[in-house]
Amino acid sequence: MAEDPKAGGGAEDSEGGTDFIRHRIKADLASGHTREVVTRFPPEPNGRLHIGHAMNIVLNFGLARDFDGRCHLRFDDTNPAAESPEFVISQQDDIRWLGFDWGEHGYFASDYFGRLYEYACELIRRGHAFVCDLSSEEIEARRGTLTQPGVESPYRGRSAEESLDLFQRMRAGEFGPGARVLRARIDMASPVLPNRDPLLYRIVDVPHHRTGSEWPIYPLYDFAHSLSDAIEGVSHSICTMEFVDRRPLYDWILEALDLPQPRPQQIEFAGLDLAHTVLSKRKLRLLVEGGQVSGWDDPRMPTLAALRRRGIPPSAIRRFCEEIGVTRNLSTTQMSRFEAAVRSDLNESAQRALGVLRPLRLVVENYPEDESEELDAINNPQDPTAGTRKVPFSRELWIERDDFLEDPPKKFHRLSPGKEVRLRYAYLVTCTEVVKDDAGEVVEVHCRYDPETRGGDAPDGRKVRGTIHWVSARHAVAAEARLYDVLFSSEDPLSQPDLMQDLNPSSLERTEAWVEPFVATAEPGQPIQLERLGYFCLDPDSTPGRPVLNRTVTLRDSWAKIAGRS
């Protein structure tokens, strides 16, 4: 059957492509199975959102946009021990920052505790669930394996009346944690392990941040999730691939309660897996609580709060998520791919500036001691309307330590004794002398400038290959620069025996830098490219007169270099 290209309105993502989920939704709309596209993003408020969530948010809100539907934000708050209202607020903030809005449709699984309890009673009455008195260890021991069937609970044959009575008494708070659970009665021999009489409710003796101590029992994920989707009229419930073998349970719950059609459908896709980091709130929480990072927004973290603090614009994250696309193939995405998306975004928007990360003093011998002048520098070569600014020049400058070598190899085009180099936007200078300390360290370099070369070009047309950056020592502002590397040394930290041992010891380097004065007064988060050094932004740790700069990303793909590809 030919597909109606108009079915479902805009079925293309903003890249103009279409993926298997969009195909599926188009077909559901065309067949009449789906009348309205309703998706949801269901975070648990037990930590800050990370870039994996961003991928989910971009997908779910993107589907709602493309199919004229809506996307709900639903907090999956069924585990009071781990959750807090602060994370509800900060996660909402993260989603808004990323550029998405759930409008009227903000919900909590805890809104439905009453209805979920009624559904559980109904399941018991229908003979589909029973109260089990085994301990969690005993239940685990009877679960069986992929090759061995599980062992049925001795309480499996309990009558509906007895189970209902016990469940009501669980709800009334008569029993302590772990004494009893509610389980589905499905099949202990099922080849699908989650279908082996899974737990639906457990007793938890912890107050909930929204419902207080009203509920001594809490629904488990599969029960709460499928039914919350149904209650909200979700049409497509999109989750990551590890939920594939829980889809039969998702469907079973809706079927066992004979809920009206159309029912929500679970669709799995390959979530984001980013090399050298971990995308799980529970694991990230260990780093925060253990003090391995300075907080959820430590710029080395993969959280949205951290990426924001580091200077990564939300548009770059959206671009990256859309580029990764929606598939069912599990694969690890390299950091270089993320950084490339960030670079192309910042390249268009970042104001350029001069700054020096590891300073070496350069004295221009033939420039008068008490003079200075202002030179024109381009604000953004990608944006002609951004204009130029004045950069002060004087006799004593800071240059990058790496830009000078006393004994350079053949292809070194920067500064070395006797060599001529261009100071960006300023003059051609020739190195005349090297000053060393007692230990033989180069502490100062001297040069002479050619006054005929103002702006950087020689009137006689002589070729000077190297161009280096600099700041005027007298005018520059001292800044702390924070340079970041990946948080974990190995590509897949979770495969390591000890996650903490895999932390990269050089994930943060601090240097004493010098920058052009205006950098100190930039807006927080405003992207600035320090020429040749990378994209930076002011960190909130900055104080008046003491800027702290985060390097958002380097200019070149340093990963390609490591892998020996360029």
Q: Which residues bind ligand ATP (CB under 6 A)?
A: 42-44, 46, 52-53, 55-56, 239-240, 271-272, 279-282
* Structure-block tokens of residue 183: 């389980």
Cα dist. 50→43, 90, 301 in Å? 11, 12, 8
CA separation for the pair 260, 246 (Å, rounded): 21
Question: In angstroms, what is the minimal distance from the CB of 79 to ligand ATP?
Answer: 9
Pick the closer one to ligand ATP by CB: 58 or 515: 58
Sign of the Cα pseudo-torsion (392, 398, 403, 408, in order):
positive
Pick the closer one to ligand ATP by CB: 47 or 527: 47
Cα dist. 93→50, 97, 304, 305 in Å? 13, 6, 10, 9
Question: In angstroms, what is the minimal distance from the CB of 59 to ligand ATP?
Answer: 8
Pick the closer one to ligand ATP by CB: 222 or 557: 222
CA separation for the pair 202, 170 (Å, rounded): 9
> Which residues does 42 contact at the CB level (< 8 Å), separation at least 6?
74, 75, 76, 109, 225, 228
**Secondary structure class of 451 (helix, strand, coil):** helix
CA separation for the pair 108, 113 (Å, rounded): 10
Question: In angstroms, what is the minimal distance from the CB of 112 to ligand ATP?
Answer: 17
Pick the closer one to ligand ATP by CB: 332 or 521: 332
Pick the closer one to ligand ATP by CB: 4 or 242: 242
Pick the closer one to ligand ATP by CB: 47 or 534: 47
Question: In angstroms, what is the minimal distance from the CB of 53 to ligand ATP?
Answer: 5
Question: In angstroms, what is the minimal distance from the CB of 51 to ligand ATP?
Answer: 8
Question: In angstroms, what is the minimal distance from the CB of 271 to ligand ATP?
Answer: 3
CA separation for the pair 79, 93 (Å, rounded): 21
Element (H, E) at 448: strand 442-449
Question: In angstroms, what is the minimal distance from the CB of 9 to ligand ATP?
Answer: 25
Residue number of the CB closest to ligand ATP reads 52
Element (H, E) at 347: helix 335-349
Pick the closer one to ligand ATP by CB: 95 or 528: 95
**Secondary structure class of 185 (helix, strand, coil):** coil
Peptide bond before residue 194 is cis, with ω within 30 degrees of 0: no
